[in-house]
Amino acid sequence: MSTATTSAPATATDPATTPSTRGLVEITKVRKSFGATEVLKGVSLTVEPGGVAVIVGPSGSGKSTLLRTINHLEKVDGGFISIDGNLVGYEVRGNRLHELRGKEILKQRTEIGMVFQNFNLFPHLTALENVSEAPVVAQGRSKDEARRRGLELLDRVGLKDRADAYPRQLSGGQQQRVAIARALALDPKILLFDEPTSALDPELVNEVLDVIRELAKSGTTLIIVTHEMGFARDVADTVVFMDQGQIVEQGSPEHIFTNPQEPRTRSFFSKVL
Ligand code: ADP
Ligand code: MG
């Protein structure tokens, strides 16, 4: 396996940035640019084990990019992200950071579940096959075990009776619930949701939000990007308001929704609430 050896910290453009690994998720001064556009301008965020962080903010503020850096779908240009003490994209050997490549990144990614706006199910696989494939392929579990666990997870999202249905035979809400079961099947340390209900007809939104509420209650660590403000208020420990690549303000739902301090936060909520 090829690993680059670099002296730590390898990618921090800010020499004062040192990786912190305190929370279950610890994001430290993360920067990301696309071409000349800086999309994340030094974002820091801590999510405790079992915590639920909800990220809100205008379109284009960097919410999806932030989630994608956590899952290593985007490589950061500066700063660090750690999940349960492990730096995303790196392995510590001795006192040096080794950059992970290829398969090692895929392995690390299995610890981080992600649910997208457009479900992204495999169209040629049944609901149960969608849920049980990754544990076999990525974790080497037996097909029987993956199938048994897959049925349990489909039951948990209320779809045990649709195990043999193909995605095209399911409603959008059902497809998204299968996608949640699929993400859970790898026993991730954290689940990321990027606008999980934005592509759904309004009458299907609640069945998906109810499943996420149940996950939150059961102690799964969640980071959720959503425009569903009522849901955010219900489910969040911390609401994070992002604008123009920065976290402008974060705090309890009461604080952010009823008493925001920053003019940009106030202006945003005056338009969406
Ligand atoms: P949000 O999810 O808050 O709407 P995004 O993270 O999707 O915001 O996007 C933030 C900014 O980054 C936007 O200006 C977007 O156009 C830009 N952006 C996102 N992904 C890419 C990419 N792969 N290449 C170039 N620009 C991108
Ligand atoms: Mg987005």
Quote the pLDDT of residue 54: 98
* pTM of this structure: 0.91
Measured from the CA of 58, which atom of ligand 1 is nearest? 3
d(CA 121, CA 203): 21
Pocket of ligand 1, beta carbon within 6 A: 34, 39, 57, 59-65
| Atom 25 in ligand 1: residue holding the nearest Cα | 34
Residue 99 backbone zone (phi > 0: left; psi -120 to 50: alpha; other: beta): beta
Chain length of the chain: 273
Cα of 196 from ligand 2 centre, angstroms: 10
Q: Report the complex ipTM.
A: 0.98
Strands 238-243, 52-56: pairing kind: parallel
Give bridge partners of residue 224 from the DSSP assignment.
Answer: 54, 193
Cα of 87 from ligand 1 centre, angstroms: 24
Cα of 78 from ligand 1 centre, angstroms: 17
Answer for the pair 216, 52: CB distance below 8 angstroms, yes or no. yes
d(CA 232, CA 25): 19
Quote the pLDDT of residue 107: 87
H-only helix segments in the chain: 63-70, 102-109, 127-139, 143-156, 172-184, 202-217, 229-235, 253-258, 263-272
Quote the pLDDT of residue 18: 66
pLDDT along the chain (273 residues), means of 10: 40 52 89 97 96 97 98 94 91 87 88 94 98 93 96 98 98 98 96 98 97 96 97 97 98 95 95 84
| Atom 21 in ligand 1: residue holding the nearest Cα | 34
Taking alpha carbons only, the member of 178, 49, 185, 191 closest to residue 113 is 191
| Atom 1 in ligand 1: residue holding the nearest Cα | 60
Structure tokens at 30: 């993360």
Cα of 61 from ligand 1 centre, angstroms: 8
Measured from the CA of 245, which atom of ligand 1 is nearest? 10
d(CA 240, CA 243): 10
Q: How many CB atoms lie within 10 A of CB 100?
A: 22
> Which helix (H) or strand (E) is 115 found in, with range?
strand 112-115
d(CA 125, CA 165): 9
Task: Please list all protein residues whose beta carbon sits less than 5 angstroms from ligand 2, which is an ion.
Answer: 63-64
Answer for the pair 200, 122: CB distance below 8 angstroms, yes or no. no
Quote the pLDDT of residue 7: 37
